[in-house]
Structure 1
Amino acid sequence: MKAESTRRPGCDMKTAVRHLLEHPPREQDIIICSDSQASLATLRGGPAAQTSPLGAAIWEHMAALVAGGDRRVHLQWVPSHCELEGNERVDAIAKEAAALPQQGVPVDVRTVYRAASRMARKEAISNWPDGWYRRLMDGHLPAPLASTTPREVAVDVHQLRAGHWSGSAQYLHRIGRNPGRDCAQCNSLTCRAASCRCCGEEEADTPEHILLRCPALMRLRLRHLGNIHPSEEEVRGSGVVAALGAAARYLQSREAT
């Protein structure tokens, strides 16, 4: 006997097993099919591995289904949307059910926590101001740096992403910490005091210049990315940002010496 589920695999599987308990089948072997590999992988861990009330309930029902006999329950994965008759039928029924009035049901703490986390993440990203960081990250929160990352490297990574790098002559000139011969302080990217100290060209050494265009760092970008003119998406990773920032610091110190 087969009980198939698709739209909400955990809930559908629980309903299928409960239906089998209420209407005991004559067959000894029961095959429960689902197109959710994640749900099957979670259930495969056994009853002790379940971290949600739904998973625990499914295992409880399956244990009751095989109690006192030689009956066996098999959980089988089936691909979705590939014209399997039963699977497509269940999908259609689930869509019809989703349009019906929904009753309030208890929700476990883990589900609430995950939903709140997703909402907070989405809201935080939507509130990012327009600018270099928003364009660079493109809706992706940066992954945490490794705990072994030196503090000075971590600072460079965060500052380069944020667009306010303390190693930038342009940034220091803008805040009055790098006065030029003819200009004490300004916001202009074309001011000579803002020129990149790594490559010596006229372009200001903004984080965008350091990560994407600085000629002095072409070899390093080629080594890490296979491209001397990468896209913003390619330099988003912490490792690439850290390597380019460290190289820029080294070239600046060598130039100063």
Structure 2
Amino acid sequence: MSLLPVISKLLEKLVQKAINQYVLSSGLYGAAAYYGLTTNSGKRLLETAYNQCLRVATGCVPSTPLTKLYEVAGAPSLHTKITRQAGNLANIALRHSTPTPARTVLSARVPQRIRQDKTTWQQLAQETLPTQQFLPLPSRPPPWAKVENLTIHITDCSRDDPPHVRLSAALECLDKVSSLCAQSQSYEVWTDGSVTDEGTGGSGYLVIKVTDGQRSEVCSGSDPAGVVATSFTAEVTAAVAGLSAAEDLLTAGLTNTDGQPSLPDLILVTDSRSLTDSVAGDPYRMSPDTIPVFEAIKSISQLVTSIHLVWVSSHCGLFLNDKVDRLAAAGTQVPQGHVRLPVQATKTAVRKATRYPPPLLDTKKLGDLRTRKASCKLNQLMTGHCSLLNGYLHRIGAAHSPHCVFCPGVVEDAMHFLFDCPGRAQSRHSAALQSSSSVSQAVAESPYNIARFLQLEKLL
């Protein structure tokens, strides 16, 4: 922790990054394996160092209660942080296809010699991991594993555009892609994923056959995407199912009138921009959840002349996209118990099990007052442990009276200091500082006004 004095002198915008990426990452490396088994005194040393890092990052004084410190910093307790780390590590280790040391440890029974007051990595992970079976990690494709006949098209619009603008752009993009299909026959595969408020996932696909401009629906389906799912994993499930259905149709014996094998074009349409971006990246750097889509595209690429992956905006009135969206919603009602969970969905479940609120102070709202001193004072005012308040100074023995210098008999706390003191009314008016029900709410909504108020009072 010798880096802390140096980090405290950095610019405010670099402090949180330095704390998270250098100090905590190195200090808590492998903590999931040893934290539960260490002694109580060892845990207290770790917690003290961890809390000191948060105080340096936020500027909170040592007397700040831990609950307030975590609230202001937007950070969990050390136990919660390590439990999340254990869940994320186990999420990968349990998917190893071979009995690696990590998987062996997680699968083994806890030895009886370990006392009851100790907690193993296995037990920490079980606090957050869902009980469903996991998908094994797929083999990572090599960097040169490209699909030569794959072209990706992105509709020229933004999700913030009006629906009619997005619809027009989608139709224009689809017409352009259709004109690029040189074969008289092509297939369109429309896919979509859906996730309920409870986190249950569903996927839907629709296969359209186009022959000389004549369109006909060949097949469609609704499939479950898991009890725990994300929008991305549901989209992946839909794309894999749709491509698999199209491949089955092609391998079933699509031939032309001469009896020669026919290689049509294939158009895969999705409203998931993250899916198209993932497939467009380096195959070797793909996430484990994207690899099944890449492998499905690579498999079907041998049966078609060209593959066009098209992104269209969702909920813009595109008929087939709305239809496949309803199929995906129906997939959430299908029994999910047999579906194995992908990596990202499990990671989301771990995050939900160890959820904590974000920081109350958004330093981007400080404008030209975005300094470390300003953010530290605002954080201290939120906790009530601030050297600007006589009430706090009297409590720690640093002031003779807890009363406000302008208001005899009134204890100077953060609410009185910011909103009620008549002696500071002029600065409050100049800074356009409005009254609020709590200091935390005021700092979250208008930190610039409070910082400006402190500056006018010559306290910043």
Cα distance, 1:108 vs structure 2 = 4.2
Residue in 2 that maps onto 1:13: 239
Residue in 1 that maps onto 2:448: 240
Contact 2:443 2:450 in 1 (8 A): no
Q: Which amino acid aligns with 2:444?
A: R
SS at match of 1:115: helix
Gaps of 5+ in 1: 126-139, 181-192, 222-226, 253-257
The question of 1:251 aligning with 2:459 is answered: yes
Instruction: Summarize the alignment of residues 198-209 of structure 1 with structure 2, pairs less than 5 Å apart.
Output: 200=406, 205-209=412-416
Distance 1:75 1:170 in 2: 64
Cα distance change, pair 156–95 in 1 and its aligned pair in 2 (3 A): same
Q: Which amino acid aligns with 1:194?
A: H
Instruction: Summarize the alignment of residues 64-103 of structure 1 with structure 2, pairs less than 5 Å apart.
Output: 64-67=299-302, 71-103=305-337
Cα distance, 1:219 vs structure 2 = 7.3
Cα distance, 1:58 vs structure 2 = 0.5
Residue in 1 that maps onto 2:117: none
Distance 1:110 1:95 in 2: 20
SS at match of 1:2: strand
Cα distance change, pair 110–207 in 1 and its aligned pair in 2 (3 A): farther
The question of 1:159 aligning with 2:380 is answered: yes
SS at match of 1:23: helix
TM-score, normalization: structure 1?
A: 0.63
Cα distance, 1:62 vs structure 2 = 0.9
Residue in 1 that maps onto 2:266: 30
CA deviations on 1:161-203 (whole Å, 9 max, x unpaired) are: 22332321122234554222xxxxxxxxxxxx432x6xx4677
Distance 1:238 1:118 in 2: 29
Distance 1:230 1:40 in 2: 48
Q: 1:55 aligns with which of 290, 294, 308?
A: 290
Contact 2:314 2:321 in 1 (8 A): yes
Q: Which amino acid aligns with 1:251?
A: L
The question of 1:215 aligning with 2:425 is answered: yes
Distance 2:295 2:316 in 1: 31
Distance 1:207 1:114 in 2: 38
Cα distance change, pair 113–174 in 1 and its aligned pair in 2 (3 A): same
More contact order relative to length (CA 8 Å, sep ≥ 6): 2
TM-score, normalization: structure 2?
A: 0.38
SS at match of 1:251: coil
Contact 2:269 2:310 in 1 (8 A): yes
Contact 1:153 1:242 in 2 (8 A): no
SS at match of 1:236: helix
Distance 2:377 2:289 in 1: 45
Instruction: Summarize the alignment of residues 166-181 of structure 1 with structure 2, pairs less than 5 Å apart.
Output: 166-180=387-401
Distance 1:98 1:83 in 2: 22
Number of aligned residues: 212
Runs of 4+ that moved beyond 6 A: 143-146
Residue in 1 that maps onto 2:190: 4
Distance 1:48 1:97 in 2: 31
Distance 2:449 2:351 in 1: 27
CA deviations on 1:96-155 (whole Å, 9 max, x unpaired) are: 22112113433344543333223322xx45xxxxxxxxxxxxxx4347979x975x6664
Identity of aligned residues (%): 21
Cα distance change, pair 47–204 in 1 and its aligned pair in 2 (3 A): farther
Contact 2:433 2:449 in 1 (8 A): no
